[in-house]
Amino acid sequence: MFKKLLNKKHTFSILKILYEAEEEPYFSEIQKISKIDKSTLSLLLTEMEKYELVSKREDNSDYILPKRYYKLTPKGIETYERYKHLLDIEKDFNKNKNNKNNNAKNNNNEMVNSNYSSNIQGDNTIITNSHDIVIKK
């Protein structure tokens, strides 16, 4: 299932590597950049090829084993851009949420601090709030 593929751990990083590549990277370049286990990477690329997100080209010249080159298909490019857009929205949402939480904490601290007043007289400090009077010596 396509949705299941997108939720897999390394899918986005593979899409990003292929999206940002100036030339078609071959398998071991992708593996070196992503640091994903070879068997895991192979399975993911095969699944991505099945869903037409990537295309594979093999070069048999001058190699005992053919070099496999990968690139994003138009569907893969669109998927990456939409996926990235959603991650950007989530990042902005979390950033705004954290800012609101920090502002609320700061406002609460200001309210608490404004409820207290201190009066320093010699060696005695008198701290007052609406409920108690504390004298420290």
Full set of structural domains in the chain with CATH = 2-105 (1.10.10.10)
pLDDT in tens, 61-119: 776 788 899 999 999 999 999 999 998 999 888 888 777 766 666 655 554 444 444 44
Digit-coded pLDDT (tens) for 34-47: 999 999 999 999 99
Of the pLDDT bands very low, low, confident and very high (cuts 50, 70, 90), residue 133 is very low
Any residues with CB less than 8 A from the CB of 96 and at least 6 apart, and which? Answer: none
Helix-strand-coil percent breakdown of the chain, rounded to 5?
Answer: 55, 20, 25
Statement: the pTM of the whole predicted model exceeds 0.75? no
Distance CA 5, CA 39 (A): 16
Token pair belonging to 4: 């299941």
Q: What is the CA radius of gyration of the chain?
A: 29
